[in-house]
Amino acid sequence: MALQSPITISDEAKILQQVLNDWAITFGGKASIVSNLRDFWNQSSINSEVPRILICYNGETSRGSFSQIATWHRVDRQWTVAVTKGRGYYPERGDGLMENTSAELPLFDVLEIVRDLIRSISNISEETPAVDYKAIKPMQLGNLVVDGYTIEFSTANDIPSNLTTTTTETT
């Protein structure tokens, strides 16, 4: 699926935020765009009983060999989305991951819903499927363990062709 014009990183982040926030607010939660991985980890450690979704642009890689890059103008944008939610109080610590109560959804259910919402977005990539889903992983940074998981995926995006600038030397 070719987009009418190349989508910017900012516009792509806004679409992700809108789709995920529309779902999260129905449970009192929120989807936020974070500025970098440090902010991502700092915000993910804030305890919350409602779903929190953090969206982090994690760079991009050019497609093709050296000679193809200048012709294709296509990159794979990497995204990491954190899904956090406090476990609540249960007789067994892991029950909040799986047990449904009248007040909250289990974290595993939230995780699958968010993963599938991301996979269903169709207007953020030049290719079909729009989202190249990679993995779900527990959140851990060194010794810091967070009650949450990351969802990793990429999108295929075109970037403007090289603009050649010539300089003249003066002596």
Q: What gap in Å lies between CA 51 and CA 9, rounded to an integer?
A: 24
- Is 14 a domain residue? yes
Instruction: Give the highest mean pLDDT range of 14-18, 86-90, 93-97, 108-112.
Output: 14-18
CATH number for 53:
3.30.2000.10
pTM comes to: 0.79
Question: Is residue 2, in this structure, part of any structural domain at all?
Answer: no
Summarised one tens digit per residue, pLDDT across range 42-92 is 777 666 667 789 999 999 998 877 666 666 688 999 999 999 875 544 445
Please count the structural domains in the chain. Answer: 1
CA neighbor of 77 nearest in space, from 19, 143, 6, 137: 6
* Boundaries of domain holding 138: 9-158
| Inside any domain, residue 163 | no
